[in-house]
Amino acid sequence: MKPTEILEHEHRIITLVLDGAEREAQAVAAGGAVDTDRISKILDFVRNFADRCHHGKEENVLFAKLGERGFPKEYGPIGVMLHEHDLGREYIRTAAAALPAAGTGDADARRQLAAALAGYVELLRAHIHKENTVLFPMAEEALTPADKEELIAAFERVEREEMGEGIHERYHQLAHELGGH
């Protein structure tokens, strides 16, 4: 498996949670109950799997290697991806800050929570599409076979050392739970 295929597989896992987050945002926006437990699980998944693990692989491993191959970090595809990662983190901070008050019925917090979740979902869906259709094909062209082997080994280290043994798989299971209806 190629390193970009690993990341694309993780995109499919993340998309399951985006589907669940979208349903929660719509329910909150429509005046429905705020499922604080489910939304807390979504935020946990996003912070730990999508951001710490997946974006960690991209930012600290793939983008760093692409930098060695001449891709600038300040602009171009990598610059855009880094900026969007930061925007996503801001949406998640906003959602997390609004969740406790939204759970008690605060109308302003409910609006903030729904908007932050919906904004995150919209951003990440477009972001994933750009990575899958633009950045990853460019990476496949730029990376050597040795680079690709190095990236796969580094991705495994991130899962084992940054996340912990078995945690990556636990988040895969959580994604299926959160993505279900």
pLDDT at 181 over 70: no
Per-residue pLDDT reduced to its tens digit, 147-157: 999 999 999 99
If pLDDT is split at 50, 70 and 90, which confidence band does 17 have?
very high
| pLDDT, tens digit, 9 for 90 and up, residues 62-71 | 999 999 999 9
Residue 167 has pLDDT above 90, yes or no: no
SS3 150: helix
Predicted confidence (pLDDT) at residue 59 exceeds the cutoff of 80: yes
Domain count, the chain: 1
Q: Is the pLDDT of residue 13 over 60?
A: yes
Q: How high is the mean pLDDT of the chain?
A: 94
pLDDT digits (tens, 9 = 90+) for 81-132: 999 999 999 999 999 999 999 999 999 999 999 999 999 999 999 999 999 9
pLDDT of residue 164: 83
Helix (H) or strand (E) holding 100: helix 76-103
* CATH label of the domain that carries residue 76: 1.20.120.520
Structural domain of residue 155, as residue ranges?
Answer: 3-179
